[in-house]
A and B are shown apart, each in its own frame.
Chain A
Amino acid sequence: MMMANNDEAVHTEHLTKIYKDFWGRDKVRALDDLNLTIHRGEVFGLLGPNGSGKSTTIKLLLGLIFASRGTATVLGQAAGSTAINERIGFLPEESYLYRFLNGEETLRFYGRLFRIPRAELKRRVPALLDTVGLDAKARKRKLREYSKGMARRIGLAQALINNPDLVLLDEPTTGLDPIGTREMKDLILSLKQQGKTVLLCSHLLADVQDVCDRITILFRGTMQTIGQVRDLLQVKDVTQIQTPSMDDQQINELKMFLSRMGVNNTVVTHPTTTLEDLFIRIVRENTVAGQSSVGSG
């Protein structure tokens, strides 16, 4: 019997999922003996290539499927418990929502499943739609008319309708443009600042690197590594010194100084920005005030 720890948002022990065929024989071992602890208030990344067991882990934690072996607790209660769903928000890998409802109706519907009072919903729904960047025109449109990016945004809004303690985001940036991706990452960081726990599942490594405190990498259903992002990414046999821009003479003098100290093979270059930063800078500079790509489909 597992002991629930108040510091743990998610805890699994020997969590295993084996899909069986019609005759009950093992067909696919989707997840194998996962032992994982996610602490409250951290942003945790679940990484891995397609078919590595990321989505299976999330489905097990949400009770969408049942474990073949092992146990999992979420916020101190058994995974899949209906009661604990009150405190969970979930954004699936695609926005699986009722396409005949519009944005506002969608949020009101999910709000009623949490028994959020009507008055509170009236306040919370527009606020959330603002947060995810859906404008007044977009929120009155049926979801079937939404672009993929807009669908991700309304999907995120429904995941946050109950102000959850734990947010599970499955490929949250899929389908988003770079600005949307940045906004999503900003939102994740803001959730972290609010003390919420975020479990991020993605194969877009840059996104994970930007927002996650810790990550684990799954491969073929097995956990390969786990730890702090900065620890895992640190190249310990190289030292990097950053200074304001130097001219050629200053560079040569620095190289000679380092050579005298026994440091050879020094490489001096100008640092590069990320493509995402470049894109955002250009778009922002050219965006006419009051116009936005968001909500236009």
Chain B
Amino acid sequence: MYPHLHNLPLLSAGELLANNWGWLVVALIVIFGLFVAGASDVMRFSFTRVWAISGVCFDESIRKRVLWITPLAIVGAIGITQFQRALDEQDAVRQSLKVCLFATAVVVMLSSIILACTNLPKEIESRVIYTIVTKPITRLELVLGKVIGFSRVALAIVIIMGLFTWAYMRISAHQKGQQIAYRLQEGDVSDTERGRLVEYQQTGLLTARSFWAPDELGMFGAPPDPRTPIRIISNQGDEDFVVSYLGDRAVLFGPPSDNVEDWAHQGIGENGLAVRVTLNTRRTGKADDQPPTTHTLGPTFGPPPVPARLVPPRVSFEILDQDYNDIDMGNLMIGGSSAGELVQNIVAYSKTRKINPAHSGAYVRLSEPAKLSDGSTAQYAYAWLPPQTALALFNHPAFRIRIVGGSANVDYLVGTRPVDCFIPEIKPGEIDIDGPHATKINPLPGVDGAEELLAFRGHLGVHYDQEMNGGSDSPNATAMYSFRNTPPPSLLVQDQIPLQISVQVERSNSDVEAGHEDATALAVRVIDDATKKVTALPNPVLVESRLPAYFSIPADAITTGNFDIIFHCMNNEESIGLFPDSLQLIISHQPFELNLIKSLFIIWMMSILVIIFAVLCSTFLSWPIAIVLTVLLLLGHWGVDQLADVSGPGLGRQIVSDFKFTDPALSSVVSTGVDTLSRILNGVSQVLPDTSKFDAIEDIEQGVSVSAAKMLEALTVLGGFGVPAIILAYLVLRNKEVAP
């Protein structure tokens, strides 16, 4: 969702090793298992024997009528698809496809886990294993034979379910296609629908598309001027900007210490964190925060009263974590228009240890414009996060500073380096906020060599990520998608570059049901990055909530793969919810059959991983426990991922704080214990496979071509975890007495 997150983890070699110890163990297992303990068995390896074992596993499964489960799954899938509520014809087909593939995955995984977990324990129990291992077959060949045998069974199920899915989808798409043709012929479609339905008719309901996602989504208070780096956000939180910092402990908390609690008393633990924002403002209407003029009743004498001077606008400071969640709202910070004013406010705070609301970082007035050496002007605002609240940063690998405009009818003009962050020097009688004694913290670098990672965002929507107000309420609100290094699309039709956009429309604070709305129009402009040429599309793009809309831009609007596409909502009292990838460039089309095969292949790869883990568990456990352990191993990584937010570093401190432990010894024990448990949990997840990499349904369901990278990712997990698991199973079986 946030493409720049990949910039965050910059770990030292020691941390890298500590975080990947599981991989090291796995590598050792493979080397030891194959080249030390199992060298003689490797030398004797024969695929004939492996194939013989796999054949008997396959025959056993088939003769036990395992494949009879597929008709049941097919009937179930057809039944479920009858109860779906689709947004349109394409959505109906895709929902059916999702059900079919989900049924396929469930049937394959269930049969794989049951077959593979029960086979070996039952062979040992029935002593059939006596006549196998007394033949010249190595335990490595035995394990591999079983894995391949059950993989063949899984493949048979996948093929049967795949053929059903293909036939069912083709029939469904044909029926829906006829309905679309009829509706278009009869003219029973709105203007908004027509473009979408024509696209369905021309491309087909099942055809997969390859997309190119934009690099960045920015939300602004006015259309960006391509000739200047200045960007504009408007007032009162419609937009904001965010600068990101790595939670570099050595900088934030002083030199590393063995006892993490000690870190709290160094760096920002002693001095807090200071933030300086630099920008310019301009009034766009009547100021809402002008001081009242003194009015006098009756006649007055002497000169007329001087109107109160217009004071500078305000900004609000917030600190977010790496996932853009609030760590500290501005009211936990102390603000000031200048470094001197901030120092005064800090001194005042130090006497009471209470933040005066008038000095809150949530509402800091900018300084008067100051003339800079290059002739330009700048306004400043400062905020300081006290040490005890700054320690919350200790729990996060990264933090982000968010600046929101606080005054109405004001445009905030933001340059390329609007935020600076310091650990101030605080000594008795001397506070240096941003001077030579303060320690400056470097922000994360931005894309394309930009000095810092600066993101402009809209206010967060309920269902969709960021919202852009439309119509006369926000005449200049703009969303800008930036494409960089985009490959030339292969689908140029009449020199037009095709795009797809999917948005959420909200109207008067309520979501709009798909298919029950008037057309929502988006004005579109294209900015070529090389020439700065702006091309406006002659007609607005009509969109419906949560349904894809298709449009194109002229190929001659851009000269290179670097360009921006700007949207503005033309409808009053409507806002548009956008994700960073809501707009996509359509690169190519791909036949449904090929996409289906790729999707089924990923399901099959996952079933192989399931089989390998099931065989491993069955080498040393009875089959019911083997099933349970296999499920745990396969879901372990996912489970830890779900807990990731709460099991991160600093959990121990957080629990001690939440439960208000007062005894230092008990606090230390609880904190250390919880942190150790959390570390163990995260460590264990490192050696468990990430099954989310086998997501075979999401792409094809959304009509996206399953990428080679996705298949490679699945293959990497299969190889990375499957091979060592096979070696482990071999080593266990090799040293196991198979005679009960």
Contact = CB atoms under 8 A, between A and B. Distances in A.
Interface of A: 59, 62-66, 82-83, 85-86, 88, 90, 92, 94, 96-98, 100-101, 105, 109-110, 112-115, 155, 158, 162
B737 A66 contact: yes
A98 B231 CA distance: 75
Contacts of A82: 40-41, 44, 136-138
A112 B60 contact: no
Nearest to B129: A96
Of B56, B60, B131, B737, the most chain A CB neighbours within 10 A belong to: B131
14 contacts: A59-B739, A62-B134, A64-B737, A64-B738, A64-B739, A86-B136, A92-B127, A96-B128, A96-B131, A98-B56, A100-B60, A109-B56, A112-B48, A162-B135
B44 A83 contact: yes
Interface string B128-145: 111111111110000000
Contacts of B48: 112, 115
A98 B41 contact: no
B59 interface: yes
A65 B739 contact: yes
A92 B133 CA distance: 12
Contacts of A115: 46, 48-49
A65 B738 CA distance: 7
B131 A92 contact: yes
A16 to B, nearest CB: 15
Given A64-B130, A155-B131, 5 more contacts: A66-B737, A82-B44, A90-B134, A94-B127, A113-B132
A197 B338 CA distance: 101
B739 A113 contact: no
B135 A113 contact: yes
A75 to B, nearest CB: 13
Q: What 7 pairs across the A-B complex have the smallest Cβ distances?
A: A112-B52, A64-B739, A96-B127, A113-B135, A85-B136, A65-B737, A86-B136
Contacts of B134: 62-64, 85, 88, 90
A124 B125 CA distance: 31
Contacts of A62: 130, 133-134
A293 B712 CA distance: 61
Contacts of A90: 130-131, 134
B121 to A, nearest CB: 15
Q: Give the size range of B's interface with the partner.
A: 20 to 34
Given A98-B60, A100-B60, A101-B56, A64 B44 contact: no
B126 interface: yes
Nearest to B137: A113
B415 interface: no
A113 B49 contact: yes
Nearest to A96: B127
A62 B129 CA distance: 12
Nearest to A158: B131
Interface of B: 40-41, 44, 46, 48-49, 51-53, 55-56, 59-60, 63-64, 126-138, 737-739
A97 B48 CA distance: 20
Contacts of A65: 737, 739
Nearest to B131: A96
Contacts of A85: 134-137
A114 B135 CA distance: 7
Contacts of B126: 96
Given A64-B134, A115-B49, A98 B128 contact: yes
Contacts of B130: 62, 64, 90, 92, 96
Contacts of B51: 112
Contacts of B127: 92, 94, 96
A97 B51 CA distance: 18
B63 A100 contact: yes
A112 B55 CA distance: 11
Nearest to B55: A109
B59 A100 contact: yes
A101 B128 CA distance: 13
Nearest to A112: B52
Contacts of B53: 113
Contacts of B55: 109, 112
Nearest to B43: A83
Contacts of B40: 82
Contacts of A162: 135
A206 to B, nearest CB: 26
Contacts of A105: 59
A136 to B, nearest CB: 22
Nearest to A17: B737
Given A82-B44, A96-B128, A158-B131, A109 B52 contact: yes
A113 B49 CA distance: 5
B136 A114 contact: yes
Contacts of A109: 52, 55-56
Contacts of A98: 56, 60, 128
Contacts of B133: 62-64
Nearest to A155: B131
Nearest to A105: B59
B149 to A, nearest CB: 12
A162 B48 CA distance: 15
Contacts of A112: 48-49, 51-52, 55
A105 B63 CA distance: 13
A101 B136 CA distance: 21
Nearest to A60: B739
B403 to A, nearest CB: 65
A181 to B, nearest CB: 22
Contacts of B44: 82-83
B682 to A, nearest CB: 32
B524 to A, nearest CB: 66
Nearest to A113: B135
Nearest to B145: A113
Nearest to A111: B52
Given A113-B52, A113-B137, A115-B48, A97 B131 contact: yes
Of B40, B46, B737, the most chain A CB neighbours within 10 A belong to: B737
A65 B127 CA distance: 13
A109 B55 CA distance: 9
B314 to A, nearest CB: 72
B674 to A, nearest CB: 33
Contacts of A100: 59-60, 63-64
Nearest to B48: A115
A74 to B, nearest CB: 11
A66 B53 CA distance: 24
Of B41, B44, B56, B138, the most chain A CB neighbours within 10 A belong to: B56
Contacts of A64: 130, 133-134, 737-739
A145 B214 CA distance: 67
A86 B132 CA distance: 12
A22 to B, nearest CB: 14
B49 A101 contact: no
B93 to A, nearest CB: 41
B541 to A, nearest CB: 63
